[in-house]
Amino acid sequence: MKKMLIGNQWVGASDGRTLDVVSPSDGKAFDQIARGTPQDVNSAVAAARAALQGPWGQLNATERGRIMTRIGLAVLDHEEELAQLEARDTGKPLTTARNDIKVLARYFEFYAGGADKLHGETIPFLNGHQVSLLREPLGVTAHIIPWNYPAQMLGRTLAPALAMGNATVLKPAEDTSLSALRFAELALEAGLPAGALNIVTGLGEEVGAALAEHPGIDFISFTGSNEVGTLIQQAAAKNAVKCVLELGGKSPQIVFDDVDVERAVPIIVRAIVQNAGQTCTAGSRLLVQRSIYDAFVGKVAEAFAKVRVGTPEMDLDCGPVMNPAQHQRVQRYIDQARASGIPVLAEGQIDANVPSGGHFVKPTLFGPVPRTAALAHEEVFGPVLAAMPFEDEADAIALANGTEYGLLAAVWTENAGRLHRVAKAVKAGQVFMNCYGAGGGVELPFGGTKRSGHGREKGFLALEEVSTTKTLVHYHG
């Protein structure tokens, strides 16, 4: 049984209850975690508050940065161990898990360097006055993350918050808490003072809700579904605290008739198959100019048919989806699209030797998908790609912007003017031009527009999100 971290104590749930840790590859339990309680959340928030008054709160920015550098190095020193743990817990291929651990380390390295580089300002004001703007931590920050990239997510949300001197409480997804717990051991060994990081494992409705509503927190960072995101924002409103919401997506690949086909095809396939499509930034809509639609989509179908699905050890293109609910959800989208007569253009293959009981789905390319179909605008969160033709630039932009989401987009054309016109017209937090980056990109400010959420993570901007300013006005005569 893996215990939770509150202050510098490793503890079970206050009522002793536990949850099974299940492998998505075979559906079998292989460990247990604590099923935390609202009382445990109280203890974690109190420990974080105490840390702000204790050694953690006394450190200067450079010292915080040094500790974070050591944490990043500790993660790299344990890359293989963490990757094995992450792969087992999530079902993702080992190569993907190794990359995720490198990205976790990278978050700590990047924000270690940022800790002492977000400076204040002086502001010209009335004669006889000196005005300065101080940059300060928000206080106790709450972090609720999903199961798709557990290690990356914890780095993405915690590293900037710690860099700015906040004390943090993390609630990992109930399905994937193991990498966070092992990470926390490494962080303590690397010198992170007690209470700077607290982890309460358990259920969203119990621990997540108690944390989001807790009057002792000063900020909430949430990554997950739109349904829960709305609950989080309501909870934040009750306590008048700020929240950053990273929610769903239905990101378009917009392909014009002068696309560099050889370059685009493998990137487009990877952008939906990666992590079995369980990526908020998955390129799940393939919008192709009608004049090249058949030829281009045919090339994508050829590549798509070569996609192989297996266990982490098989290390193929992707693994199973996370849990039975996700399995049913993705399979339902596939079955309903088929039943409604949308043509299947290609399917990937599930390795014949995968264990029974695993949550494997066949990656599927559909097209042409009618613009009104569920697949055209709903997030599947699985390896399902919806191809649709468009007529011209104006139609491409309308189609790209025609969902309630606005997270990522990619534009593929050799025409530089069109590239920039379309990139500017598309509503998204990031637009890739003749490339695509689902995940990673620690340096690149990231976040949603429209129903994909608000606020920015990654890059230097994240430091502003997790800090506040104090304006000092001094009359010196």
Verify binding: residue 426, ligand NAP, rule CB under 6 A. no
Q: For residue 31, what is the DSSP state? A: E
Give the phi and the psi of residue 337 in degrees, each rounded to 5: -65, -45
Q: In what order do the strands lie in the sheet with 121-123?
A: 121-123, 129-137, 467-475
Verify binding: residue 174, ligand NAP, rule CB under 6 A. yes
Pairwise CA distance, residues 245 & 241, whole Å: 13
């468009």: which residue's tokens? 390
3-class secondary structure, 174: coil
Verify binding: residue 18, ligand NAP, rule CB under 6 A. no
The window from 21-29, 66-74, 203-211, 302-310 that contacts ligand NAP (CB under 6 A) reads: 203-211
Q: For residue 401, what is the DSSP state? A: T
Pairwise CA distance, residues 44 & 197, whole Å: 9
Verify binding: residue 410, ligand NAP, rule CB under 6 A. no
Q: Of 169, 185, 145, nearest to 50 (Cα)?
A: 169
- # binding residues, ligand NAP (CB under 6 A): 30
Site for ligand NAP in 208-267 (CB under 6 A): 208-209, 212, 223-225, 228, 231, 246-249
Q: Of 465, 452, 403, 459, nearest to 246 (Cα)?
A: 452
The burial of 73, by beta-carbon neighbours within 10 Å (0-12 exposed, 13-18 middle, 19 or more buried), is given as middle
Q: Of 185, 162, 253, nearest to 4 (Cα)?
A: 185
Verify binding: residue 160, ligand NAP, rule CB under 6 A. no
Minimum CB distance to ligand NAP, residue 379 (Å): 6
Among the listed residues 280, 318, 457, 465, the single catalytic one is: 280
Verify binding: residue 148, ligand NAP, rule CB under 6 A. yes
- Which residue in the set 47, 48, 268, 280 belongs to the binding site for ligand NAP (CB under 6 A)? 280
- Which residue in the set 44, 49, 67, 89 belongs to the binding site for Mg ion (CB under 5 A)? 89
Verify binding: residue 381, ligand NAP, rule CB under 6 A. yes
- 280 contact choice in Mg ion, ligand NAP, none (CB below 5 to 8 Å, kind-dependent): ligand NAP
- Is 315 or 378 the residue whose CB approaches ligand NAP more closely? 378
To the nearest 10 degrees (0 to 180), the angle between helices 79-90 and 94-114 is 120
Verify binding: residue 203, ligand NAP, rule CB under 6 A. yes
Site for ligand NAP in 81-120 (CB under 6 A): none
Q: Cβ of 131: how many Cβ atoms within 10 Å?
A: 14
Catalytic sites, residue numbers: 246, 280
Q: Which residues bind Mg ion (CB under 5 A)?
A: 89, 175
Q: Which residues bind ligand NAP (CB under 6 A)?
A: 144-148, 171, 173-175, 203-205, 208-209, 212, 223-225, 228, 231, 246-249, 280, 379, 381, 407, 448, 453
